[in-house]
Amino acid sequence: MDHAATAPLRPEALEAMLPFLQSGGFGNASSAHRFGQRAQEALEQAREQVAAVLNCRPSEIVFTSGGTESVNAAIKGVAMAQRLSGAGNRIVTSTVEHDAVIHTCQYLEKLGFEIAYLPVDRYGLISPEAVAEAIDANTALVSIMLANNEVGTIEPVEEIAAVIRGKGRSLRKRIPFHTDAVQAPGLLGIDVENMGVDLLSLSAHKFGGPKGVGGLYVKRATPFLAQQSGGGQERQRRAGTENVAGIAGMGVAISLAESERESYVREVSLLRDKLMAGIELAINGVELMGHPEHRLANNVHFAFDKVKGDELVAALDAHDVAASAGSACGTAVWEPSHVLLAMGLSLAQAAGGLRLTLGAESTSDDVDYALSVLPAVIEGLRESTTANAHS
């Protein structure tokens, strides 16, 4: 129950990858001979597959090493290009973004950029009006995620894009809009034309592709300075020999995720609702985190009173239930979630956060088992906390 951290590699993706991991398909896509040409053909096929899902030109897709690089390239690439051209030095983002966005913005602050971190409401929602108010003549970029990786809240990206365009017209300048859509494929539509975004970040392993591969949509004519220097790969936007096998797997995985999206969302949302209702019925001192309706179909996130999330995750693991206390990228040094704190929870409340995220292979029996284990685990941890407090 930790599919937001990563999803299993789809057999179809593995099948697409294997020829490029074996003799005969190992060519460098930049080589002119037939081995290189075969690799190049695989790259372009995957580029077309990703572009078809995003409803954009294949030439607007840049392959990267994952979501983190895609976010870094988007934010730094636009910020640097905008500052060099004199278009602005201010970035508008939110307090509930993934660490890849937050830490990239903190890095740019050290280089003299001005960062506006917008607050959210108790559900983790960002107000389009707040975005509009934060934009000024010095704004170079806006970066707001499509769906929150921890609490599952879906942000009003289309409305935000509209206010950005409106503010840009009044200021007589183009303000690029980036969205971190890493959690969205297979769960939400990611049509860039409908959303109105200029840049969009993806990570293959979140939707059944391999780890170590990602994608970045960069709308044509968007100001962008490549952040990785070297050869001329990816149309001068990301140097380095491409991971042909991984990219081939990503192309197949995103195509399948989109083709199955509607049926998957119907099925997994039923399991999610069963899990949410079961937890609320069986356990006292628990509060649902994230928006009750505008949330990802596979996401369940609760804050439990008098429990520490890291201890809860360890106790559930002992019962063969894989869960998370927050983002999988932030577990090296555990601390209360910055997302929950931004939503107004106290340190004590935020410490008790637990994320359960379902996947395509999740079953009703899996939910029943989790519901049979969780109440006793919570009770045991609370009793232990009380006993320690009295000792």
The whole-number pLDDT of residue 227 equals 96
Whether domain 261-382 has CATH 3.90.110.10: the reply is no
pLDDT in tens, 216-231: 999 999 999 999 999 9
Q: What is the pLDDT of residue 333?
A: 56
Query: Which contiguous run of DSSP H or E holds residue 141?
Result: strand 139-143
Residue numbers of the chain with a pLDDT score lower than 50? none
307-318 core/surface letters (b: 16 or more CB in 10 A; e: else): bbbebbbebbee
H helix and E strand count, the chain: 14, 10
Q: Which residues make beta-bridge pairs with 114?
A: 90
- Report H helices in the chain: 11-17, 34-54, 67-85, 99-110, 128-134, 157-171, 192-195, 233-236, 244-259, 261-282, 309-318, 338-342, 347-350, 364-390
Residue-level pLDDT at 390: 60
Give, in order, the Cα–Cα distances in Å from 168 to each of 150, 165, 213, 273, 290: 31, 5, 33, 40, 30
| pLDDT attached to residue 332 | 54
How far, in Å, CA of 223 to CA of 2, rounded?
36
Residue 213, pLDDT score:
98
Residue 389 exposure: Cα atoms within 13 Å on the Cβ side: 8
Left (φ > 0), alpha (ψ -120 to 50) or beta: where does 24 sit? left
> What does the domain layout of the chain look like in residue ranges?
11-259, 261-382
Q: And the tokens for 217?
A: 């949509």
Q: Amino acid letter at 115?
A: I
| pLDDT score for 388 | 67
Residue from 23, 22, 5 nearest 14 by CA:
22
> pLDDT digits over 1-12, tens only?
999 999 999 999
Distance in angstroms (rounded) separating the CA atoms of residues 41 and 29 = 8
Distances (CA, A) of 241 to 72, 124, 216, 295, 390: 19, 39, 16, 37, 60
pLDDT given at position 23: 79
Name the residue among 185, 115, 173 with its Cα closest to residue 143: 115
Which residues form the catalytic set?
A: 329
Joined together, the tokens standing for residue 363 give 């079953």
Q: Which CATH class is domain 11-259?
A: alpha beta
Which residue(s) pair with 115 in the sheet?
91
